[in-house]
Amino acid sequence: MGHETSLRQTRARAWAEEVMRLHRQYNGTLLQAASRLCRYGGDREDLVAELWSRVLGLGRKSAPPVSLSLPYLLAVLRNLYMNLLRSQRSYSLATLDPSIVYVSAGSPGMSSDEHGETLLRLVERLPEEDIQLLLSDGRRTTDTAPDDALRANRLRVRRHRLRRKLLDALSAQEHRDDP
């Protein structure tokens, strides 16, 4: 048992030294990349610190990656930033105040109430499957197999076409209602 613990400590020390070497070599480049990513919001230092903590955490696994390269680190950095954006977006949607009345602007030909009623009538004509497709956000779930990428792409295209047809029908309805 003592030999196994010693071996684990040696591996952890070697991994930490490798991460420190990479930190000295690539930290400036990663900070520049984070600056480009965070120009619309976010803290570049926090993003890079999270990257290094994730990389250091890889060493806790039984077989850490043999080598880490700059492209790998940049990909992890981009993924961390995208996760940050997704979490901010879901947080901002979850914190909408229900006491505030959100009003649709409508369109020049219709008031917002008429616009909403017309849209509701058009959606009610759609089959249930199409309504569910329009309401889905298109994200892959954790139980989705990677080979379902073609199916997911087909659904995205179909969702886009449904939305386009719905907008065209709404536009046609507006022009019909114009005096």
Indicate whether 17 pLDDT > 80.
yes
Domain 2-94 has CATH 3.40.50: no
Contact 48, 80 (CB under 8 A): no
Give the chain's radius of gyration (CA, Å). 25
C-alpha closest to that of 45 among 57, 28, 58? 28
119 or 33, higher pLDDT: 33
Two tokens at 151? 């199916």
Sign of the torsion formed by the C-alpha atoms of 9, 10, 15 and 21? positive
| CA 154 from centroid of its chain's CA atoms | 19
50: part of which helix (H) or strand (E)? helix 44-58
Instruction: List pLDDT tens digits, range 117-156.
Output: 777 777 777 777 777 777 766 555 555 555 567 777 777 8
Please give the pLDDT value at position 126.
75
Indicate whether 174 pLDDT > 60.
yes
Instruction: Tell me the C-alpha distance between 17 and 10, whole Å.
Output: 11
Domain ranges of the chain: 2-94, 112-177
pTM of structure: 0.45
